[in-house]
Amino acid sequence: MQNISHVHQTPPAGANSDWTVPQNWDRFSADEHAIWDRLFARQSAMLPGRAADAFLRGIDVLKLSRPGIPEYCELNARLMAATGWQIVAVPGLVPDAVFFEHLANRRFPAGNFIRTPEQLDYLQEPDVFHDVFGHVPMLSDPVFADYMVAYGKGGLRSLGFGALDHLARLYWYTVEFGLIQQADGLRIYGAGIVSSFAESIFALEDPSPKRLAFDLFRVMRTQYRIDDFQQNYFVIASIDELLKVTVETDFAPLYARLDMLPDIAIGTVLEDDVLIG
């Protein structure tokens, strides 16, 4: 999730130097817990057969079906036991370097607020539902958890190359909007899709988006949009594939080649693309 126009450039009042804030879970009202329950009920009813097995396992292992907005310190006990990750509360989008530093240290920055009923189907800033329902279940999968650490370390390195815009596409087309080919069919693991009722249907069933086999270089050339459904989705064969290619690739020469090539507009299909479904 990102809309960089909202990023706090200095830690807001009450925040630590790493932008973390207390979750203040006890300040959530009954109405706010009810918004979580409404969103959770709607998504959990429609995700079997749509969400990746790893995601559904995460919902179960982390006991996310308990009512109300999860209390981070309580949830962290289970998340830490699974993969050593923990959720830290932040007031919204944080600067890239801060974000990557947290990921590199197995800390997932999650919003300490929840959307209003008027924002039920879309909001710009990552709230607790997008972050905790969307992102956290996959963090209980050991391989995906390692991928997110590798991404955080890669993100910090990319800043040294001035290559964040290219590397951000890898995050966007995997962590936020990724699809995976399972033996029993195409499934969602991207947080931006899985936390959205309409896009969970669109991403798998609509004929208009181009679903392409994941290719790291192709992904890093591909533009994306932040204010509408995606017109491109990239499909991995396994989470192992994603971790392997990210850990084994030397990104420096890729960044040099990317700087010499034009971006690829959304919705484009190149002749050597592998179209899926």
Identify the sign of the CA torsion 51, 92, 100, 173.
positive
Tell me which of 94, 136, 186, 188 binds ligand HBI, using CB under 6 A. 94
Q: How many residues bind ligand HBI (CB under 6 A)?
A: 11
Q: Is 90 in the site for ligand HBI (CB under 6 A)?
A: yes
Tell me which of 1, 89, 170, 254 binds Fe ion, using CB under 5 A. 1
Whole-angstrom CA distances from 107 to 26, 144, 159 are 22, 14, 19
Q: Is 152 in the site for ligand HBI (CB under 6 A)?
A: no
Tell the smallest beta-carbon distance from residue 2 to ligand HBI (Å). 4
Half-sphere exposure (Cβ direction) of 51: Cα atoms closer than 13 Å: 26
Identify the sign of the CA torsion 131, 22, 6, 254.
negative
Q: Is 2 in the site for ligand HBI (CB under 6 A)?
A: yes
Give the footprint of Fe ion on residues 17-76 (CB under 5 A).
none
Give the footprint of ligand HBI on residues 7-26 (CB under 6 A).
none
Site string for ligand HBI, 103-132 (x = CB under 6 A): ------x----------------x------
The option from ligand HBI, Fe ion, none interacting with 96 (CB < 5 to 8 A, set by class) reads: ligand HBI
Give the footprint of ligand HBI on residues 38-57 (CB under 6 A).
none
Tell the smallest beta-carbon distance from residue 157 to ligand HBI (Å). 13
CB distance 35 to 121 below 8 Å: no
Q: Is 216 in the site for ligand HBI (CB under 6 A)?
A: no
HEC letters along 27-48: HCCHHHHHHHHHHHHHHHHHCC
Helix (H, G, I), strand (E, B) or coil at 6: helix
Q: Which stretch binds Fe ion (CB under 5 A): 123-131, 153-161, 200-208, 257-265?
A: 123-131
The dihedrals phi and psi of 120, each to the nearest 5 degrees, come to -50, -40
Tell the smallest beta-carbon distance from residue 128 to Fe ion (Å). 12
Tell the smallest beta-carbon distance from residue 135 to Fe ion (Å). 6
Q: Is 96 in the site for ligand HBI (CB under 6 A)?
A: yes
Residues sharing a CB contact under 8 Å with residue 186, sequence separation 6 or more, in sequence order: 179, 180, 204, 211, 235, 276, 277
- Contact residues toward ligand HBI (CB under 6 A) are 1-2, 90, 93-94, 96, 99, 109, 126, 168, 171
